[in-house]
Structure 1
Amino acid sequence: METLKELLDSDIYLDIIKELGGDNFNQNLQSVEIEELKNRLRQRQFLLEGFNCKVLSDKEMVQQSLDITICCIVTFFSKKKKIPPNLNNGKYCPHLVIKGSDQLLGVNFIDAEDVIFDQPIRANALPVNEDIDYSALQDGTEFLILEGSAIVGEGIVKEVFQHKSHGRK
């Protein structure tokens, strides 16, 4: 819920009103509750601003999830590929799928150790799709590497490095 009106029109709020009964609720009470909610939102915003925090919109949160480098350990399977991929030329862009999930996370590998089939190597990748939330990729997250529908490898996130933009403190 993003606005007070959405809250007041929500099923949860209406169920509470119904439970209280029509006699216990009137427009005066609603206006008092609206003012109280506004005051609480102002207090929350004041506290966040006091700690130099910025409340991010959904679009800003997705953009922030793109401003990362995913540091990981990956292994490519010899039975799935004939030629090892070049992870250093910025042209290898498979999908990662977190184990237990079905969401495709497009990445671009930007540097790595030379690929040796069936051996774990260190690699770094960047997210590529601004319409996807990559925040599920956290330290310790295990994933599969897909080329089309073929699983060609697997990996584990070792660290997610958050980039700082020039405008951000």
Structure 2
Amino acid sequence: MKSGVSSQSKLLNAPAVVATAQARDFFLNESEISDVLEAARKVSLALIGIGQVTEQAAIVRSGYFSDEEMKGVQMKGAVCNISTSFLDENGERVHYDGEARMIGLTLDEIKAIPNVIAIVAGNGVSAWMYSLQIWIRPIEQSFGRIHPAQLSG
């Protein structure tokens, strides 16, 4: 029985965060990297991970972000991160100095994908989910609005 679903994976062989904006531009000019990002912009379904905004976040533990940088985005109101961006509790993008060093899809590029499935785990999930529901339109249209209180327990 054919499912009607086809997929192909591509590996983005680039660090998530680099030291400078110039280094980011250098990576983005490599066809192997730019071709993968271009293909990602054209998908009809994206599975994305939502990162926490703490010193325990994968982006900090991996060495891509310092504790000080994470504290800086926390002070600006960030409650979660998606790809190259951080969101506040109202689903608004939090601007920060390190944005120009990130390699990946932007929030606007992810918003343009027709179907987005977000994977969220960790402490403070209800705050993240509320922020995401404001931001990710397809979740609300497909499954109805989930209030953070429904996630506790």
TM-score (structure 1 length as normaliser)? 0.22
More helix by share: 2
TM-score (structure 2 length as normaliser)? 0.23
